[in-house]
Homo-oligomer: A and B are copies of this chain.
Amino acid sequence: MVRLIALYATPDDPAAFDEHYRSMHAPIVARYPGIREVRVTRLAGLGGRAPSHYLMAEMAFDSLAELDAALASDPGRESGRDLRNFAQAGVTLFVADDRAALDV
């Protein structure tokens, strides 16, 4: 599996962020071709400290080619445009390829 991971910075209005994510953004992501699993988790800091990011979204695909195709698809481009509607505080995107796991 290959995961597209989005780390969202803490929004000014978390309730509005959650509402937009749930009602508008998640339905777009659900239309990505080839998407296998979506996990969206609120984050916490260590030892009671504020976390570095507010929310982590993990979107799993069978391969990097499927992930790239999803981002290039109509829903992929739509989700990118939708970021400006709720992720003004910022979002960090990267890819975690389980085939690039360290053998620990």
Residues of chain A touching chain B, judged by Cβ–Cβ distance below 8 Å, are 4-5, 18, 21-22, 26, 29-30, 38-46, 51-53, 55-56, 64, 71, 92-98, 100-104
Contacts and interface: CB of A to CB of B under 8 A. Distances in A.
Contacts of A29: 104
A12 to B, nearest CB: 18
Main secondary structure of the interface of A (DSSP, over half): strand
A25 to B, nearest CB: 8
B39 A93 contact: no
A41 B4 CA distance: 12
Given A46-B71, A71-B46, A41 B94 contact: no
A-B residue pairs, 10 tightest by C-beta: A26-B104, A42-B100, A40-B102, A44-B95, A41-B96, A51-B94, A43-B94, A52-B92, A40-B104, A41-B101
